[in-house]
């Protein structure tokens, strides 16, 4: 199986090159785009997925409901819908764009396009990508922050944007 090739972008999101997944995740800090879809239910709880032990970055950590790379030549809007379908079996949703910002971890730099949706339908986990998934109360998330339970990326999203959404709801 050939290695995935990711687009490389500038801070505005314009594609300026491409690189293999392994290079983007090896500490090179090449900026590449990703999508994050935060899924709330009508009670205001947030669905999180537990990353598979097979993941090359942050395995076995709880993460954003849907998080994935944008494919070379793919639009952001197409990517968020594709990732929702692939990881959780969710279709026919209209994600609301929140904002984009750069997340930097010890191994990578991502331009993260963040969305949210309120969803009450069925969720079917892709067991190759996702080890577990469930809705969390916001208070439960707050109590478990900075305890090595969540991904760096999720904690960044939560602190940067999710709290604002919860306050508005």
**pLDDT for 67:** 93
What is the per-residue burial (b if ≥16 Cβ within 10 Å, else e) of 104-115? ebeebebbbbbb
* Rounded Cα distance, 94 and 92, in Å: 7
Q: What is the pLDDT of residue 129?
A: 77
CATH number at residue 156: 3.90.79.10
**Residuewise pLDDT in 10s, the chain (169 residues):** 688 999 999 999 999 999 999 999 999 999 999 999 999 999 999 999 999 888 878 889 999 999 999 999 999 999 999 999 999 999 999 999 999 999 998 889 999 999 999 999 999 988 777 889 999 999 999 999 999 999 999 999 999 887 667 655 5
**Domain limits for position 124:** 5-168
Total domains present in the chain = 1
């Amino acid at each position: 199986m050939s290695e995935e090739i990711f687009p490389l972008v500038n801070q505005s999101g314009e594609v300026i090159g491409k690189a293999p997944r392994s290079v983007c995740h090896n500490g090179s800090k090449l900026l590449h785009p990703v999508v994050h879809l935060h899924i709330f239910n009508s009670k205001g709880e947030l669905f999180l997925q537990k990353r598979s032990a097979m993941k090359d970055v942050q395995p076995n950590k709880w993460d954003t409901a849907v998080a994935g790379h944008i494919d070379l030549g793919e639009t952001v809007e197409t990517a968020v819908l594709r990732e929702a379908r692939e990881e959780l079996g969710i279709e026919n949703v209209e994600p609301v764009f929140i904002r984009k910002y750069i997340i930097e971890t010890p191994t990578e730099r991502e331009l993260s396009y963040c969305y949210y949706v309120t969803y009450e339908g069925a969720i079917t986990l892709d067991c190759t990508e996702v080890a577990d998934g469930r809705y969390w109360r916001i208070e439960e998330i707050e109590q478990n922050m900075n305890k090595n339970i969540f991904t760096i990326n999720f904690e960044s999203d939560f602190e940067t944007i999710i709290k604002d959404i919860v306050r508005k709801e």
